[in-house]
Amino acid sequence: MAAVTMASVISVSLLSESEFGCEHLATQLGQDPGVAEQFKASFIKAHNALAPHPKSLETALKQNPAPRASTLLKPKYMCLTCADTCLSNERKAHADKTGHSFYMESRGRLLYCQGCEDFVYDYGLERLRSSPPESALEVAKKRRFSDSSSDELYIRSNATKRPCAKTGVRGLFNLGQTCYLNVILQSLLHDPILTTYFLGNGHQIHDCNANDCIGCAVAEAFADFNSSEKPEGFAALNLLLASWRASPTLAGYQQQDAHEYYQFLVDKLHASTEGHNDSHKGGCSCFFHKTFYGKLRSSVTCDKCGNITRTEDPMVDLSLDVQVQAKKRAMGGNGTSPPTLSGCLESFTSPEKLMADVYNCSGCGNTPQKATKQLRIKKLPAILCMQLKRFEHTFSVSEKLEGRIDFPMSINMLPYTTNPNSKVDKSRFIYDLSSAVVHKGKLDAGHYYVYCRQGDQWALFNDDQVTAVTEADVLNADAYLLFYNLRSLASPRS
C-alpha cells in the first residue's frame, strides 16, 4: 500500500511540474492561492513597467557619452518580489541575499528562474499577460487546465521533466543596422581554430596598449560568448565602437556589406598582432596571416610567343562570379538548374582570353599582344571564405541575383590549385562548411542572418534570435558568404 501511495505522489508531482514552467513555479503557483495571486500580480506589474524594446545605441550614447561596455545595452533583470533590477551576473547574489528567485528580463520580458538558472515558459502566465486588462483577472482565476481539453490532458500526461540549465549558443543584439557585423562575428565565434586562439594564449587584452584595438574587442567577444552563463544574447558594443573609430565609412547606422566588413576585420586582426608584416609579401608568420590569408597566382601566356608572366598576390577570400555561371547555364539550356559552387570555382580558375589592348608582352618587345590569363590558388588558408557575387553593377543598372547556389558540406580544393593533378594526399585539401551567411532583401535595403555549425548541429542566428535547424535547411539557403575550415591542419597547403 505504501508503494502505491508513493507512486501516486510522484505522479502528481510530475503532472504539476509539466503544467507549470518549472518545479519552482509549481511550488509558487500551485499551492497557497494567496501566494499565487500575489505572484501573478507582481508578474503583470513587472511586465507593464518594462519597456517592450531596449533603447537604441544612439540614444544611450547621447545620455552617457562615456558608457561602460560591460553595462550598456546589457539586459536588466527585475525581481518580481521586490522590483529591484540587476545584471545577469548580479542575480545570484541578490537571490542568496533575499531568497527571491524569479526575475523578468528587460528585453523580451521573459521569465527567469534563478533556481533553474534558466528562462522558463509558463502557459498560464503567458495567457495572463496576453489578455486585455479587463479579462486578466478572469484568466488568473482559470489557472488550472480544463479537464475537458484532451490536448492539454495529453500534454500533462506525457510531459517529462528536463534539466533546466541551458547550454549552447548565444545570439547578438542588433545595435542599429549592425546585422552585417553580427553575422561575421558569429562565423568567427563558431570557428574552432579561433576559439582555441582567443581562449588560449592568443591576443592578451591586459598586455595590449593600442587604442581601440580590434583584436582586444574580438577577444572580449569570445570571452563573453564562451562565459559560463549562456541563456541570453549579448551586445558586441566594444567591437562596434572600435570598428567605427578605425573606419569612417563604417561609422553610423547606414547599412554595410558583410563581405567588406569581413575583409576589414581580418585586416585589423592581422594588424593587431605583434611582429606582423604589413606588406603580406615578406612571409608573415603571425597567427592571423596563417589562418586567413592564402596566395593566388596569376599566369598570363602570350598567344604569339608563349612567354609566361606570373604574379602572386595574397588573398583573404575568393570572390566567385555567380552571374557568369548563371548566364552560362541559361545559354546551355540548363537555366532551370541552379548554379553550383564547383561550377563557380571552375569558371574562376579557367583560362580567360585577353585582348591586345590590355597586355604588353615582354617577350615581344613590350608590344601589345593577345594573351590567355589563368588564376590558380598557390596557397590555401586554414579558414577559407568564398563570396558568391550576387551583386552586379553596370553603368546603367545595379541588380542582385536571387536564388539558391548549390554548395556542399565538404569540398576538395585540390582541382583549383597550381598543382591540380599532383599525386598527393587529397585529404590535405578537404574543407568542411562551418558557416553560411545569407542576405535577404534588395541592394540598398536588406538583412543578414547566418547558419553556423555548433558541434554536430546547426543553428540559425538572426541577430539575438537563435533557432535549431537541420543540415538540409543550411544547404537550401541562398548563401552569400561561405566559410569552410580545413579538415586537417597537420600538412602544408600549397
57-66, 81-90, 426-435: range with lowest mean pLDDT = 57-66
* pLDDT tens per residue across span 194-231: 988 888 878 888 788 888 899 999 999 998 888 756 56
Query: How high is the pLDDT of residue 9?
Result: 34
79-93, 127-141, 374-388: range with lowest mean pLDDT = 127-141
Mean pLDDT across 414-426: 85
d(CA 483, CA 194): 13
Are the beta carbons of 88 and 119 closer than 8 angstroms? no
Query: How high is the pLDDT of residue 436?
Result: 97
Cell of 234: 549579448
Among 251, 244, 257, residue whose Cα is nearest residue 179: 257
Of 100, 276, 280, 447, which is the active-site residue? 447
Percentage of the chain with pLDDT > 70?
A: 74
Of 113, 179, 213, 344, which is the active-site residue? 179
Percentage of the chain with pLDDT > 90?
A: 35
* Helices 150-158 & 2-19 angle (0-180, nearest 10): 120
Among 456, 453, 454, 444, residue whose Cα is nearest residue 484: 453
302 is catalytic: no
Cell of 2: 505504501
Mean pLDDT across 433-444: 87
d(CA 183, CA 465): 12
Q: Please say if the pLDDT value at position 395 is more than 60.
A: no
179 is catalytic: yes
* pLDDT tens per residue across span 238-250: 999 999 999 989 9
